[in-house]
Amino acid sequence: MVGYADMREVLLWAQTKKSAKVHFTYREMTTGAKKHKTEKVRTAATTGFTAKCIANEVEPGRTYHYDLHINGRKIKRPYETRFKTQTLWQYRTDPPAFTVAAGSCAYDSEEQYDRPGKPYGSEFFIFNSIHAKQPDLMLWLGDNTYYREPDWSTRTGMLHRFTHARSQPELQPLIAGCSQYAIWDDHDYGPNDSDRTWPHKETAWEVFRAFWGNPTYGLEGQKGITTFFKYNDIDFFLLDDRYFRTANDCESCPRTLMGEKQLAWLMEGLAASKSPFKMVIIGGQVLTTNPSHESYFNLFPAERELLLAHIARENIKGVVFVDGDPHFTELSMLTNEKGNKVYDLTCSSLTAGSFTDAATKTQNAHRVEGTLVNTHNFALLQFSGPRTARVLTVSVFDNKGNELWKKVLEP
């Protein structure tokens, strides 16, 4: 798998079946220049025999082919393995156009551990459809796998679930061919609707770190999965909606979704950002006014209002929330008191059961007409245009790669 990618380094990830020495070799594709090698990493059982290696002999704006080596032997893969470094465009050209894939709720069926009856997960061919679109990176919006009852409470169970999910052959060309960034939601953190009281959250945090290649995990010594990255001219704020979350049913507790420190970091970061679009990636819906499910509006209305008021008061333009969770897709939009549009793209689900009654059983005053999708789907976010007039085109596709709708968003 390819993890984060910057101008000077790229993270490469692999998993072995037992303890082994892992390294990667890589070569710039167009010139066939010198082959480079990462340092060797020995995999261990405590992290599911995963390895993270850094390709740090790269140049900006290049595409590299890479090979995996286990115990000195090159491992051949039946698909292309490559990564791109970010372009050095500042003070030289307009920022490059680029495409981000996004999706949530990927259920990897395993019959002996699944709920009885009709399978909850579907085939994984949607990942072939995403790969065929050739995105530059992918955002995993939470519920990236689904812990079952045998998985929740032990490291062994969590490692098993992630290992099983990563073993799906349809997934592997996608994650091996472009950068992957991820947040979590309840099902890849703990049981359904898990919050900060979950006693195994530190184990979940350690397993998440082992299986994803984000730039950082948590803020200033604080745990959780909060991180940030910039891709070309666009800022991405990746948030943790579980580690600090007040229990849903504790009505007398101080109510917070993000926790004081993370919320303050986000609000200041949005105000400081010079990006034409501020992409805020979070596990659950933000703008929806649906009162009947686990949304910001329903469970944390005061904190939601504080955040939206800050965006209006500071005249912050181009805020786009991107989230998963409810097993349907929709685009929400509100225009605040400063006349700025705030967007919320909900994209769900990839392979988990779809909310087929979403049209009749959900309410959302901010839903953009014609954007509700209640079948398996994914989104592409395409950033284009000159530096002073960037445009975000959002397209949603079904699991076969057919376009369902397209909207053009401006800051």
Q: Are residues 215 and 287 in the same domain?
A: yes
Element (H or E) spanning 24, and its range?
strand 21-28
- Tell me the C-alpha distance between 346 and 12, whole Å: 29
CA–CA distance, 373 with 68 (Å, rounded to integer)? 39
pLDDT of residue 410: 86
Tell me the per-residue pLDDT of 265-287, one tens digit each, with 9 for 90 and over.
Answer: 999 999 999 999 999 999 999 99
Q: Kindly state whether residues 182 and 299 are assigned to the same domain.
A: yes
Q: What distance in Å separates the CA atoms of residue 196 and residue 70, rounded to the nearest whole number?
A: 38
Asked whether the predicted pLDDT for residue 292 surpasses 90, the reply is no
How do residues 223-242 score in pLDDT, each as one tens digit? Answer: 999 999 999 999 999 999 99
**Residue appearing with tokens 């500071």:** 314
Residue 206 has φ and ψ, to the nearest 5°, of: -65, -40
- How far is it, in rounded angstroms, from Cα 271 to Cα 260? 17
Same domain, yes or no, for 80 and 201? Answer: no
Same domain, 82 and 97: no
Check residue 39 and give its pLDDT: 98
Is 380 strand, coil or helix?
Answer: strand
Q: Are residues 202 and 65 both part of a single domain?
A: no
Arithmetic mean of pLDDT over the chain: 96
Does position 316 have pLDDT exceeding 80, yes or no? yes
Q: Within this chain, do residues 228 and 337 fall inside the same structural domain, yes or no?
A: yes
Contacts for 282 with CB less than 8 Å, ≥ 6 apart: 183, 239, 241, 321, 322, 323
Which CATH number is 9's domain given? 2.60.40.380
pLDDT tens digit sequence for 132-160: 999 999 999 999 999 999 999 999 999 99
Looking at the fold, whether 95 and 75 belong to one and the same domain comes out as no
291 falls in which pLDDT band (50, 70, 90)?
A: confident
Which pLDDT score is estimated for 113? 94
Decide if pLDDT at 26 tops 80: yes
Q: How far apart are CA 346 and CA 289, in angstroms?
A: 13
Asked whether residue 313 falls in the same domain as residue 229, the answer is: yes
CB 279 within 8 A of CB 286: no
Last residue of a domain, one of 86, 115, 139: 86
Same domain, 77 and 109: no
Domain boundary among 86, 116, 144: 86
**Domain at 230, CATH number:** 3.60.21.70
pTM, rounded to two decimals: 0.98
Q: Which of 71, 86, 101 is the last residue of a domain?
A: 86
- Counting the structural domains of the chain, the total is 2
* Shared domain check, 142 and 33: no
Task: Tell me which residue range forms the domain holding 80.
Answer: 1-86
Shared-domain flag, residues 214 and 347: yes
Assess whether 101 and 70 both reside in one domain: no
Cβ-in-10-Å burial (0-12, 13-18, 19+) of 288 comes to buried
